[in-house]
Structure 1
Amino acid sequence: MSLGSASVLVLAAAAGCSGSGSGGVEANACTSPGVTSTQVRLGLVLSDSGPSGDVFSAARSGVEARLGLANAEGGVHGRQVVYEWRDDEDLQSRNVLVTRELVGSRQVIGLVTVTTALEESTDALTEQDVPVVGLAGSPDWAEHPNMFSYAYDASPVTIGRYIQASSGRKVALVLSGIAGNTTGAADRYTQALQSVGLKVVGAVSYARLADSPAQIAHKIAALGADSIVGLTTAEDLAEILPAIRTTVPRLVVTVALSGYDHARLARLGPALAGVSFPVYFRPFEAGGPAIDRYRDAMSRFAPQAVRAEQEYSMNAYIYTDLFLQGLERAGACPTRAGVVSALRDLTGYDAGGLVSPVNMRNNSDVLQECYAFVQVNPTGDAFQPVRERMCANGE
């Protein structure tokens, strides 16, 4: 598939746009990449295929919903906001090519990214002062002043507080893959959980081709655990949980770090019944004005989406909202540097009530301490909110 065939230019219904921006600046005098008298062009870099494609592909609908909503409300400084997208296939070499094309020949003002393959592109994007908002999937993301995310690393202490509130006391960590590859995560969670008074009784690794679920269940029973933290894929946890429930009858709480995905419930729901998940935005099930606004935007501007309640549809909606905040604050003649500066000065950002307020000046250096928890219901066919807000300080 050629780069050209992988792209889509999305435009909302044309709205009237004068030749002047706000503040008396002539819009057609703006010379920044991606800015014309009537439009601002963004780029979206997405892993729509490859290993992450099944998870990330929903992101396009979130981008389209948020841009459609913005354009229906008049755009940004009178300009409609459009986007082009490229699939990097979850490959760093491909990411370099598509990123260079969008920023160079396609002249987008900045990028929204939903990929973990950005690492080899970050230095070039920083050198060109290109604003980038999205999934903090590059190891050195936080070191680049032009790159932004509303959510970086979450505090594992909050997981510990949730386990305590659920009457858990003795925690076993369950990890996917070979133990040596997950030592860092296990050590970090062990220290955090113990800091709030929990006892971490051990860590057990599950390698699908080498271990049986029954073996893992007996190891956890021997440790005397009453709680589990799954540093695993949702698929791995679903394979071993039925055996664990049979072998560890006093299990009071299981927390999985990933798996809040309504599309997975049809396949994995019964096996994951009772499992809790941290959610870093307002859960869909919690409802409220911010969720209603999101659902309305998805219905109106991304009707092709199978369902609105998808994690990366919401994440991309928030990334796009954050970029629009920077674009709005950059003024009537926005530049790449102006958007970067505006985003870096942004404080109290909450995506209209979808996330806990964050400070873009320092949020890459501060653990996210407050988030929500949902749980798979007993029949495994829905998520139910358990805590709409839980913080590391126990509030």
Structure 2
Amino acid sequence: MRLRTPRILLEATAVVLVVAVIGCAPSRDGNGQGATCDAPGITPSEATLGFVYPDSGPPSSVFVSARAGFDARIGLANAEGGVHGRRISAQWRDDEGSATVGALAVEDLVQHGQVFGLVTASASLHDSMERLTKQGVPVTGLAIEPAWVGRANMFAVVYSASPVVVGRYIQDAGGTKVAIVTPDTSPVTESAVTSYTQGLNAAGINTVARFTFSAAVGDPAQVAQKIAEFGADALLGIEAPDEFGKVVQATRAARMPLTVSVALSGYDRSLLGTLGPSLAGVSIPVFFRPFEAGGPAIDRYRDAMASYAPESTETDQQFAMFTYINTDLFLRGLELAGPCPTREGFIRALRGVSDYDAGGLIAPVDLRNYAGEPLSCYAFVRVSSAGTEFEPVRERVCADGSTG
């Protein structure tokens, strides 16, 4: 396998000791020495994680950089001595963007691969979530699917882009009639459309319509014509960047007077070479510290990407960063679970953290709250008019209307 934790903060000594006791089987001398650690994926020298993402299938173009972030964080952990002296190893599976294939991939990793837990970059886990919860398997990842909410074993630092924050950004830019562009009418997409429509309404934008486009079966010019007939002055893309870019180009060719266009994904420098011109002027919400802001946390991430995911020629990729953070989150839980970890101890310890910040990459998140609340504030960047770079445009936009 090709290998690809910002700093792990120390918890109070008493908490660590309690977790260590919980995580270890009884020892011969009662103080942890000589303990037998027999949790799945745990040996005296190694801890094995599983990774699930769409390496193929329709979503693969969006998640193409996810594996690099996972490999980079694992490589960095091992270079720094592993966790409690154990080297971190990994097995990965392709879910192909399919719930059926995803369920088989998860079962294979948990039942046959005997991994300790999972890091995921997938929108196809819903058929596996109930089983993972019943089995108490710890999982970190992007909470793209609504069923993540309320599961103590499933950890996320971002449950979604706050629809209200996106609505406020569009309203501040002068948007009054919003065309939401989606690839299909699947349940996940329908849920997202409902959420963003409500968020736009909450921000004071009450004229919203939804348009579906897929390059495989549709014509972007026809979609642009329908958007023009609706009279939209703003676009919101809940769609892959390449597909949304085709619609943006078509609206531009039709000389539509749009005030703002927002895509929920696409903050990926590697995309600029091919998609930059089509996405020129499009704004994107950023849930972590923007790459353009720099600083020690960003430098650490870039160094890890360059060292342990060298085939990824561009380090500044949104989904690589998401997976890097979610892998760091898993490693934090493994550290807190003590020298002889159990899945139960991992979940209990990580759910006790109130200020996880991925070493400065994100605003502190209270992991004790897993009710599915989206981040209330984040930044926005915009693709330059030439389509060659990202420009920070808003450092802070919040659901309560405050800005920075």
The two structures share one fold, judged by TM-score above 0.5: yes
The whole-number CA distance in structure 2 between the counterparts of 1:143 and 1:388 is 30
**Alignment correspondent of 2:156:** 149
Change (3 A) 1:233 1:299: closer
Amino acid at match of 1:140: A
SS in 1 for 2:252: helix
How has the CA–CA distance of structure 1 residues 162 and 44 changed in structure 2, closer, same or farther, with 3 Å as cutoff?
same
Return the letter of the residue paired with 1:392.
A
2:128 matched residue in structure 1: 121
Q: Distance in 1 between matches of 2:269 and 2:206?
A: 32
How high is the sequence identity, in percent, across the aligned residues? 48
Return the match for 2:379 from 363, 369, 372: 372
Which residue in 2 is equivalent to 1:176? 182
1:284 Cα deviation after fit: 1.6
1:87-166 aligned within 5 A? 87-166=94-173
TM superposition shift of 1:225? 3.7
Task: Give 1:213 deviation, angstroms.
Answer: 4.1
**2:274 match:** 267
Q: Indicate if the aligned counterparts of 2:163 and 2:198 stay in contact, CA closer than 8 A.
A: no
Cα contact 1:44–1:83 (8 A) shared by 2 = yes
The alpha carbon displacement at 1:219 in A equals: 4.3
1:158 is paired with a residue whose SS is helix
TM-score w.r.t. structure 2 length?
0.83
Q: Is the 8 A contact 1:76 1:328 kept in 2?
A: yes
Q: CA deviation at 1:186?
A: 4.1
User: Match of 2:328?
Assistant: 321
**Using the alignment, how far apart are the partners of 2:283 and 2:339 within structure 1?**
45
Of 189, 196, 208, the residue aligned with 2:196 is: 189
What amino acid is aligned across from residue 108 of structure 2 in structure 1?
Answer: E
Equivalenced residue count is 378
From the superposition, tell whether residues 391 and 324 of structure 1 become closer, same or farther in structure 2 (CA, over 3 Å). same
Structure 1 residues 374 and 253: CA distance shift in structure 2, 3 A: same
User: Do the aligned partners of 1:173 and 1:186 also contact (CA within 8 Å) in 2?
Assistant: no
* 1:251-266 paired onto structure 2 within 5 Å: 251-266=258-273
Contact 2:379 2:396 in 1 (8 A): yes
Q: Distance in 2 between matches of 1:381 and 1:364?
A: 39
Partners of 2:57 and 2:382 in 1: CA distance = 29
Check 1:237–1:127 CA distance in 2 against 1; reply closer, same or farther (3 A cut). Answer: closer
C-alpha displacement of 1:348: 1.4
| 1:40 paired residue among 34, 38, 47 | 47
Residue equivalent to 1:285: 292
Q: Per-residue deviation at 1:329?
A: 0.9
TM-score, normalised by the number of residues in structure 1 = 0.85
Distance 1:36 1:389, change over 3 A: same
Q: 1:26 to 1:36 in 2, by over 3 A?
A: farther
Tell me the secondary structure at the aligned position of residue 385 of structure 1.
strand
Alignment of 1:193-272 (within 5 A): 193-200=200-207, 202-206=209-213, 212-248=219-255, 250-272=257-279
The 10-residue stretch of structure 1 (334-343 or 118-127) with the greater mean CA deviation from structure 2:
118-127
Selected match of 1:299 from 294, 301, 306: 306
Deviations 1:4-62 (A, max 9, x none): xxxx3859xxxxxxxxxx89633763222222222211111222122223332422221
- Give a deviation string over 1:146-186, Cα, whole Å, max 9, x none: 111111122211112212333x1413223235679866544
Alpha-carbon separation, structure 2, partners of 1:214 and 1:90: 28
In structure 2, how many angstroms separate the alpha carbons of the residues matched to 1:265 and 1:293? 23
Contact 2:277 2:387 in 1 (8 A): yes
Change (3 A) 1:53 1:215: closer
* Matches for 1:349-368 after TM superposition, within 5 Å: 349-368=356-375
Query: How far apart, CA to CA, are the structure 2 residues paired with 1:29 and 1:185?
Result: 46
Query: What CA RMSD, in Å, does the superposition of the two structures yield over aligned residues?
Result: 2.8
Shift of residue 84, structure 1, vs aligned partner: 1.8
Note closer, same or farther for the CA distance 1:248–1:10 as it changes in structure 2 (3 Å cut).
Answer: closer
Paired residues of 1:102 and 1:108 also in contact (CA < 8 A)? yes
Amino acid at match of 2:260: V
Alpha carbons of structure 1 residues 94 and 196: separation in structure 2 relative to 1, 3 Å = closer
State the partner residue of 2:28: none
Letter in 2 for 1:315: F
CA 1:333/1:183 → structure 2, altered by over 3 Å: closer, same or farther? closer
User: 1:18 — aligned with what?
Assistant: none
Name the counterpart of 2:87: 80
Separation in structure 2 between the aligned mates of residue 178 and residue 50 of structure 1, nearest angstrom: 15
Q: Which residue of 1 aligns with 2:24?
A: none
1:65-108: CA deviations, max 9, x gaps? 11222222232222222212222333333333332332233322
Choose which of 332, 357, 364 in structure 1 pairs with 2:339.
332
Q: Which has the higher contact order (CA 8 A, sep 6+)?
A: 2
Amino acid at match of 2:105: V
Question: Which blocks of at least 5 consecutive residues in structure 2 are unaligned?
Answer: 5-19, 22-30
